[in-house]
Homo-oligomer: A and B are copies of this chain.
């Protein structure tokens, strides 16, 4: 079988390969610490589009183009697109379906959408029937700000714990033919809600969900954190990473040596005024599809656990006084030579 259960919530996939990745980011994301490691960097946030929403659609479209080019794949060879984004009714992903015209399954776990999609895509591919699957996630700073926070024109002051939604998109072509990287295992997370209510401090709210999924993955597969060269969470940011390390420590799990975070890596906090760090589905998607995939292919990492994290609230639930349910989904990616 191409998919086998391990433990309670983890599934090992065989013969599921990453054939190519595409990453396209905005100017802030492209000029931070990860400069030079994305496929394309936009000169400005709008890049000639007439609305921010069209810009978000366009940046995703470019990530698709890069993933197809680098994996030597045509749209006609893609059996299914599994993707999502942060906008209401995931319109960024859905509107791209008008042009690519491939069968489309929309997914949503807020900023954990990318690893949900990667997990679903890998398991569908491993299960048989499909040959190539496109997985994607995207976000845009301006569309997210006005949907979740305040109009940009207001120029309000951000809290130190507030995340900066990344203008970024990542796409991955999965295939059942040998590629440079292999998806080894998937753990779908459950909802963890410890009562956090502040949408300007989502890193703290999401840290326990990240812990829950990481420990589940390690327990299910009988591994320790040190079996990975790196464990990257999605967008816990500076505060969330600190919190996760301490929280895990209390539960006898030492993540201090291997833990890093896509959102924390994306910006220079001192120079770029981005506070807690990057967030949005496009954050982990682009950081994986660009820098992390590159490090794996180049041999800097042999085994990586990507654990995108999502805060599953809406502006309505926030206004109604609800706490913020969080989730994290984990995908283990290995360089070919390391595959079992």
Which A residues are within 8 Å of any B CB, using their own CB?
1-5, 9, 11-12, 51, 53, 79-80, 84, 87-91, 94-95, 97-98, 101-110, 116, 119-120, 123-124, 126-130, 147, 187-191, 193, 312-317, 320, 322, 325, 327, 329
Instruction: Tell me the bound Cα distance from A89 to B85 in angstroms.
Output: 10
Copies in the complex: 2
Chain B min CB distance to A49 (Å): 11
Contact between chains at A317 and B91 (CB < 8 Å): yes
A-B pairs, top 8 by smallest CB distance, nearest first, are: A127-B127, A97-B191, A103-B188, A94-B312, A3-B129, A1-B128, A89-B314, A88-B88
Q: 19 other contacts beyond A12-B129, A97-B312, with CB at 8 A cut-off?
A: A1-B128, A2-B128, A5-B79, A9-B79, A87-B314, A91-B313, A91-B314, A91-B316, A94-B191, A95-B312, A95-B325, A97-B190, A97-B191, A97-B325, A103-B190, A104-B188, A104-B191, A104-B327, A106-B312
| Cβ-defined partner of A4 (8 Å) among B95, B104, B128, B193 | B128
Which of A88, A101, A322, A327 has the most CB atoms of chain B within a 10 A radius of its CB?
A88
14 contacts between A and B (CB under 8 A): A2-B128, A51-B320, A53-B320, A80-B188, A88-B89, A88-B316, A89-B312, A91-B316, A95-B317, A95-B325, A101-B191, A106-B107, A108-B108, A127-B128
